[in-house]
Chains A and B, each alone.
Chain A
Amino acid sequence: MITPSKAPLIQLRGVHKYYGDYHALRGIDLEIRQGEFFSLLGPSGCGKTTLLRTIAGFEGLSSGILAIDGRDMAAVPANHRPTNMVFQSYAIFPHLSVAQNVGFGLRRESMSRDQKARAVAEALEMVGLGGYGGRAAHALSGGQRQRVALARALILKPKVLLLDEPLSALDKKMRETMQVELIKLQRNVGITFILVTHDQEEALIMSDRIAVMFEGDIEQMADPETLYRRPTSRRVAEFIGKMNLLPGQVAMEGNRIIVDVAGLGRGAVEAEQAPGGVVPGATTVGVRPETLGLLFPGETTSRRLADGVVDEVVYYGDMTYYDVRVPGIERPLTISMKNLIGQPVLDVGTPTQVVWDERSLVVLSR
């Protein structure tokens, strides 16, 4: 396994992109390190695909600097960039065989026919399609097309592999398999991967680092755990995972940050629980469903409690999601509970107590 080195492989400085009046990228600053699995995550229309296509060279910059491996890319067309792309549609050439597709980019390499054939066979082997070289491209399934697209891009040993929503066309099972395979592949080849996705779960599973984009700008850039546990803004908190958003008040008492959360109560939080900074006054406080709990009959706890009534129960098998109505909060709190041995599933209307903890609060000023 190759660990990401510190040297930035890709640098973007103040990158803007306009389509006529439309401001698609609004001042992107970004550094991606050699060997990193980096994801661009955001809702559709946020500019993530534009950013990827900019790096690939299919779109020019309106202003700003893009450098790959220390070299300015402004005058370098797509066919001379050290990047290769896996397209959302896979863009498999329908008139060529699988082997011809994979070997497409080798035409310009100074290799003998045998060497090329061997390279194609190895690339197909690497993506689990050994022996498929002779097949017609149009006879492949979705998953196989994706593997061909991967092999075709990786055979050229690019410095960066760009993946434009490569899994969105696959069914759920296939997608989960490919997620794991992509991670393994990336570790084996050590090539920097940049993945564009709108699927937050996919980004969390696969990435070393994630940039969350909204409206042409990067809202937060962090590793998956930080992004999940310490979102800096409401938008990021809502986009990634499930998050209860509660109205509250935040104040400084000396060095201590004190929050008063509607329905739950007052408590002190650490500075890192306010990653977006503290602006005293009204604020939004986020709490993840799995950091809350329910006190079942006969249990005791030293943690904080709030009274409530079960409003909705959604049973997932391994988990149960409860919506609990708590006085003082307009929307019910969503709480997820693991279905442990001997633990009952509560009925709608059951009075209960919500278990919470100051450590699970996130102050979302923005």
Chain B
Amino acid sequence: MGLLDSSPGARAAALVAPPLIYALLLLAFPLVAIVVISFWTQSGLTLERTFTLANYREIFTGPIYIWGNANRWGVLPLSLFVSATVTLITVALAYPIAYFVSFVAAPERKSLWLFLITIPFWTSYLIRVFLWKVILGFNGVVNTGLQSLGIIQEPLEVLLYNLSSVIVTLSHAYAVFAILPIYVALEKIDRSLLEASQDLGENRLTTFLRVTLPLSVPGIVGAVLIVFIPTIGDYVTPELMLGSGGRLMSNIIQTQFLQLNNWPLGAALSIITMLAVGIVSLVFILLNRRWLRGRA
């Protein structure tokens, strides 16, 4: 019996099967594996498969990961802070761009603008990070430029190898992911609503604050989540932009897995990071839920 002759249920199952298998193999199975491994321990070269909370105990009692000490933040709060800052900057810069494309650009030019915005993505992510090193480095574009203008005598060392360089690089890298959801939300706004607001006495600024902004909240929430969640897991950028000095959560997890060969601790750190990101995201969604509810 062919696929087209079978019952609707069987047909649906057949259609869903390939992505379902894919999802199970590449998402659910690794996730379960991580959870399981996080309760094991590493002894030498072998995994000790007895259930233990030792990894979590280390994370929650040690000074490195969560609590920090008088001189430095814990790595997890620091990572959350970096991601939150990146998100704030990215979304704040993306909004005017999305607004411009949706409201100001001529309708026939909109796809051209979107196309131009995606052009940086034609270059490999790694190369873009290195470009920022070229721009911000000791002998980089910014320093030599400022020096030749006579504004500074010595190259600025604060530009590279600190958190701000990580934030700058990530904000640029994730800009498109923030622009697109905001653009879509703005495009969905019925333009007659803006006229109605004007008709009812509001000027352009108050119309923006009372109509456009609240109606674009779904796009902002989408942009925030799309930027915040992956940036905390990005270990390439901190690795390259922080140099050997600082470490963020993603680098520590990478080190546990690939260099120290301590999978159980790496797995537990992954779980804790995931939970932290999940909780922050949920709180954010809950805070905005009144803007996200049932739209006609």
Contacts and interface: CB of A to CB of B under 8 A. Distances in A.
Please determine whether chains A and B interact with each other in the same assembly: yes
B190 A104 contact: no
B201 A91 contact: no
Contacts of B202: 79, 107
Nearest to A84: B199
Nearest to B199: A85
A174 to B, nearest CB: 18
Given A136-B294, A138-B294, A138-B296, A91 B198 contact: no
> Interface residues of B toward A: which range?
20 to 34
Given A58-B195, A91-B192, A108 B201 contact: yes
A160 to B, nearest CB: 12
A105 B295 CA distance: 22
Contacts of B296: 94, 137-138
Interface in A100-143: 104-105, 107-108, 136-139
A56 B214 contact: no
B186 interface: no
Contact of A85 (B190, B196, B203): B196
B176 interface: no
A138 B198 contact: no
A93 B192 CA distance: 10
A56 B190 CA distance: 18
A192 to B, nearest CB: 16
Most chain A Cβ neighbours within 10 Å, of B192, B203, B215: B192
A93 B201 contact: no
> Interface residues of A toward B: which range?
20 to 34
B215 A95 contact: yes
Interface in B196-218: 196-203, 210-211, 214-215
Contacts of B196: 85, 87, 91, 93, 152
B190 A138 contact: no
A156 interface: yes
Given A87-B192, A91-B190, A56 B199 contact: yes
A89 interface: yes
B193 A93 contact: yes
A153 B200 CA distance: 7
B211 to A, nearest CB: 6
24 contacts: A56-B199, A57-B198, A58-B198, A58-B199, A78-B198, A79-B202, A79-B203, A80-B201, A84-B200, A85-B196, A85-B199, A87-B195, A91-B190, A91-B195, A93-B211, A95-B214, A95-B215, A104-B200, A104-B210, A107-B210, A137-B296, A139-B294, A153-B199, A153-B200
Given A83-B199, A153-B200, 6 more contacts: A85-B199, A87-B192, A93-B197, A94-B193, A94-B215, A136-B294
